[in-house]
Amino acid sequence: MCFQREHGEAVPGCLGKAASNGGDKTSDYCYDPKGLGWPDVKYIAGEPTQLLGECEADCDNDSECKEGLICFQRDGYLAIPGCSGEGSKDSDYCIKAAP
């Protein structure tokens, strides 16, 4: 998958200055989310009757995610941090909160 950077975000599964927070802060990088052992994205159709789990969509805010997760607001097919797969365009996914 292509990890699209806008502000020098760390590149998943990559080490080094360019991949962390150095180098060209807007360069995009290819990475293999399957190789990182991340959970696959999952789209829950309609209004969820329970809180969404890790890498599940479509949340509107953090309160719709299980404890310890936040609602990642994305545009288009922007890579979903900590999740494997492309997911649905413009859908927002619950992901692990930064430590």
Kindly list the domain boundaries of the chain, sorted by start residue. 1-31, 36-99
- In Å, the largest CA–CA distance within the chain is 44
Residue type, 88: S
What pLDDT was estimated at residue 46? 66
Confidence category of residue 8, pLDDT binned at 50, 70, 90: confident
Q: pTM above the 0.85 mark?
A: no
14-39 tens-digit pLDDT: 766 554 445 567 788 887 767 677 78
A 10 A CB-CB count for 32 gives: 10
62-85 tens-digit pLDDT: 999 999 999 999 888 888 888 888
